[in-house]
Structure 1
Amino acid sequence: MRRLAATGLMVAVGLGGCATLTRGTRDEIAILSEPAGASVTSSVGASCAATPCSLVVARDATFTVTVAKPGFASQTVPVATRIAGEGAAMASENIATAGLGIVVDAATGAALEHVPNPVSVTLVSLAPVAPGAPRRTRRRTG
């Protein structure tokens, strides 16, 4: 009976997955822009009205973020995933559960993190420079 209980406990812990339990299956991505106040949309449906803001997405999602503001050229940034240092450490701990936790963490994406995070963009103004506008020059003082 004890052996059955111990096996059941090991399977339950393994099915939970260490990273799945401690990191979760969703990740928060910070979005920053210069100038602030740009709208953000993503290829996975997450969006926010004005930067700075953050998007919450599945840890295993790869996607693009588009940052836009009237009067500025919009920018699209790809966001990828990689195994997080913390996630990798937890995955190695899963060996104690006969590898079951590794399978769960890999399936849920809990051992992953997004890069870049934060997503930071500098928007370029679309305002044309007026022809004949005076150029600002520095005067040497001496």
Structure 2
Amino acid sequence: MSLPACATVTRGSSQQFTVESTPPGAQVSTSNGFECQATPCTFRMPRKDAFRITVAKDGYVAQIHEITSSVSGAGGTAMAGNLLIGGIIGGAIDATSGAMNDLKPNPLVVTLRTPAEEAAAARTPAATTTSGDQ
């Protein structure tokens, strides 16, 4: 008997996703409805969907980050094995469940800045080098 949806069985369709911040204690909310009141925090998130995350703390500028969902090395390997052993049906289950994907970046590490720090960073020109300058 074949093993359908090998990646779905071995990796699951969700994963732990961690948010850390400096300073700690920031609130976190995601575009797909997850929240935590104070970093660091960990969610159990579906592997298949990208989402937007907002990290905010009183006295600091809120940050928004995009979290992507893409095929991981382990997920691709499980999918390849599934296609060889489990066939097209198992491969289709893995593809639609998101089991072969990973959320990136994970963990998300955020450094929050005060409005004054944000303004100072905006005024500081980026370091540039030109070829030929000595």
TM range (shorter): 0.7 to 0.9
Please state if 1:31 is matched with 2:19: yes
Please state if 1:98 is matched with 2:87: yes
Counting only pairs closer than 5 Å after superposition, residues 1-142 of structure 1 correspond to structure 2 as: 9-10=1-2, 13-14=3-4, 17-94=5-82, 95-126=84-115
Aligned AA for 1:118? P
Deviation at 1:127, TM superposition (A): 5.4
> Which ranges of structure 2 fall in alignment gaps of 5 or more residues?
118-134
TM-score, length-scaled by structure 1 = 0.77
TM-score, length-scaled by structure 2 = 0.82
Distance (whole Å) between structure 1 residues aligned to residue 47 and residue 58 of structure 2: 31
What are the Cα deviations for residues 73-105 of structure 1, in whole angstroms up to 9, with x where unaligned?
A: 000000001101111111111122223221110
Distance (whole Å) between structure 2 residues aligned to residue 37 and residue 97 of structure 1: 46
Is the CA contact 2:52–2:66 (under 8 Å) kept in the aligned structure 1?
yes
Deviation at 1:109, TM superposition (A): 0.5
Aligned AA for 2:16? E
Aligned AA for 2:107? P
- Greater gyration radius: 1
How many aligned positions are there?
Answer: 116
Is the CA contact 2:6–2:90 (under 8 Å) kept in the aligned structure 1?
yes
Is the CA contact 1:31–1:54 (under 8 Å) kept in the aligned structure 2?
yes
What are the Cα deviations for residues 32-78 of structure 1, in whole angstroms up to 9, with x where unaligned?
A: 10000000000000111100111221110110110000000000000
Give secondary structure in 2 for the equivalent of 1:121.
strand
Is the CA contact 1:71–1:127 (under 8 Å) kept in the aligned structure 2?
no
Distance (whole Å) between structure 1 residues aligned to residue 85 and residue 12 of structure 2: 20
Aligned AA for 1:104? I
Deviation at 1:110, TM superposition (A): 0.4
Distance (whole Å) between structure 2 residues aligned to residue 99 and residue 42 of structure 1: 34
Is the CA contact 2:6–2:86 (under 8 Å) kept in the aligned structure 1?
no
